[in-house]
Amino acid sequence: MDLRNCKKCGRVFAYNGSEICSRCLGDDEGDFKKVKEYLYDNPGATIVEVSEETGVSEKKILRYLRESRIEIREADNLLLDCQRCGKPIQSGRFCDKCVVEMKKEFTAAVKPKYKQPKVKAPSKQNTQMYTAEIRKKYK
Which residues bind to Zn ion, rule: CB under 5 A? 6, 8-9, 11, 21, 24, 82, 84-85, 87, 95, 98
Residue nearer to Zn ion on the CB measure, 7 or 120? 7
Smallest gap from residue 80 Cβ to Zn ion (A): 11
DSSP string, 9-25: T--EEE--S-SS-HHHH
Smallest distance from the beta carbon of 101 to Zn ion, in angstroms? Answer: 8
Cβ-proximal residues to 124 (8 Å cutoff; 6+ apart), any chain: 117
Closest CB to Zn ion among residues 35, 98 = 98
Residues near 48 by beta carbon (within 8 Å), at least 6 away in sequence: 58
Of residues 80 and 82, the one with the C-beta less far from Zn ion = 82
CB of 10 to Zn ion, least distance (A): 7
Tell me how far apart the alpha carbons of residues 70 and 45 are, in angstroms, rounded to a whole number: 12
Q: How far is the CB of 53 from Zn ion (least distance, A)?
A: 25
**Of residues 26 and 55, the one with the C-beta less far from Zn ion:** 26
Buried b (16+ CB within 10 A) or exposed e, 4-31: eebeeeeeebeeeeeebbeebbeebeeb
